[in-house]
Structure 1
């Protein structure tokens, strides 16, 4: 179960979904959405992380657009998600993510470190946040904006884990290798995991994107990485 908090920003009240671990307290994780918003899939992953021992905040980044929830069964889900992402200025999304991180860090339920995890759109946003804010761990699933953010790589010194598929049409393997080179050049704590045959958004259970093998392999690695650097895994 989750509830919704509000974080005050210069533009108004930002809705932030919150999940608590069974113990009620634990390290914090900022979870940043795909282009489809705080969808059922993102909520499911947030619940998984909470069960593993984390206090999870997932800001509703489209709140300024008054877009409502996307129908994940819509045949044009990808097109509608891309249209929403294009309407949202990156600077606004980044400001909201940073405000959410500040609120998470100050939350009384949070004990220990604070990390950031993002998927697709959120994977790039999480990387940008980690370049500007002190976080204890970064997990980025196929961060779609990463090719445009590599000038920030030197500022990301935190332990990081990056998941990519080798059959990603949006981020081809040669682009992924450029990302790897930039992100690991000055950070020996950056890890890359390539998933053979997986396309973009392979963790999303929607049949249009899902790669069961890659998703099943990546998630335990993600939990182990977070446990190593944040130390909350409860099983």
Structure 2
């Protein structure tokens, strides 16, 4: 069943019931009505990722939405802080082709629980109806089309704004990495080719960029065994990164399908390999993050500049509480 447009949940029932009455013998109407409603609610729940939202709502960690500004653009980002006593690395989390959905925010919270400040920008900010972001679109198909059509240069500029914001936070130790899934995995790889002061890039089942020569940071890949669309790009990516003298460390999880990080957490998942891959990949990700060096500086180079470029300006808005809307200008 296709996901339903948001805001139309209560209009589907007259349509369903009308079809049942028109095409179903009277004695079967009650049974089919019940089946239709069960399927409808199951589909709606899966589309909304309610299980992820439930987990996120139970989290004790501080989370907030901030507005990042660069040029004439305003960008919404979801930020989660770890409960730690010292300064922490920053993870720029790049969403799937499904936008800043509940699972992405729940994953941001999971990484914060592991000890990292997570900045997850909504890359659809301003492009939706009435200038909204992911939540303003009428359904998943519209979100997918919108994400697919995003300008790569604007995406990199948005990710720069998120990285600059995270690096300037008083709680940041100056280390910034990118982590992306699916479409976002490809953007994490591309961001490594764009930004010179990135400490590392983590690519979950995403395609490679068009060139590797400009990559400075090590790139770590996480791929699914049952995902030929992306897996078929791996041999050329490995060879290209090797020829360019870049560090690329990919791991493929046999039996897992594309999107296994989300699918492996979904209670409706029916492929055990997705759960195994998700757990192993998360352990690998957090272990690699722990091994990264800290720059111990919140004034490292912004955007794609060299590390010796201008100091970043501090921003008092970064320490805002839940009740305040933080805004940072990049």
Normalising by structure 2, we get a TM-score of 0.62
SS in 2 for 1:227: helix
Q: In 2, are the aligned partners of 1:201 and 1:209 still within 8 Å (CA)?
A: no
Give how far 1:33 is off: 0.7
SS in 2 for 1:181: helix
Q: Are 2:220 and 1:158 aligned?
A: no
User: Which digits, 9 at most, give the CA deviation of each residue in 1:122-164, with x for residues without a partner?
Assistant: 11111122122111111110114x2xx141x122231221011
Give how far 1:177 is off: 1.8
2:289 — aligned with what?
A: 226
- Mapped partners of 1:107, 1:184: distance in 2: 35
Name structure 1 gaps, 5 residues minimum: none
CA separation of 1:188/1:110 partners in 2, compared to 1, >3 Å: closer, same or farther? same
User: Which digits, 9 at most, give the CA deviation of each residue in 1:16-59, with x for residues without a partner?
Assistant: 11111102631111111111112111111111111111111011
Give how far 1:188 is off: 5.6
2:144 — aligned with what?
A: 82
Normalising by structure 1, we get a TM-score of 0.85
2:24 — aligned with what?
A: none
- Mapped partners of 1:169, 1:177: distance in 2: 12
Give how far 1:183 is off: 2.7
The structure 2 residue matched to 1:212, chosen from 275, 288, 299, is: 275
CA separation of 1:32/1:48 partners in 2, compared to 1, >3 Å: closer, same or farther? same
Q: In 2, are the aligned partners of 1:199 and 1:209 still within 8 Å (CA)?
A: no
CA separation of 1:123/1:166 partners in 2, compared to 1, >3 Å: closer, same or farther? same
Q: In 1, are the aligned partners of 2:241 and 2:247 still within 8 Å (CA)?
A: no
1:129 — aligned with what?
A: 191
1:193 — aligned with what?
A: 251
- Mapped partners of 1:128, 1:53: distance in 2: 25
User: Which digits, 9 at most, give the CA deviation of each residue in 1:67-109, with x for residues without a partner?
Assistant: 54289xx9x84x4443121232222212111111111111212
1:5-24 counterparts in 2 under 5 A?
A: 5-23=66-84
- Mapped partners of 1:154, 1:35: distance in 2: 26
Aligned length, in residue pairs: 222
- Mapped partners of 1:82, 1:193: distance in 2: 27
CA separation of 1:209/1:109 partners in 2, compared to 1, >3 Å: closer, same or farther? farther
Of 209-218 and 118-127, the range deviating more from structure 2: 209-218
Give how far 1:11 is off: 3.1
CA separation of 1:176/1:111 partners in 2, compared to 1, >3 Å: closer, same or farther? same
Give how far 1:221 is off: 0.5
SS in 1 for 2:251: strand
1:69 — aligned with what?
A: 135
CA separation of 1:230/1:48 partners in 2, compared to 1, >3 Å: closer, same or farther? farther
Give how far 1:228 is off: 0.7
SS in 1 for 2:111: helix
Structure possessing the higher radius of gyration over alpha carbons = 2
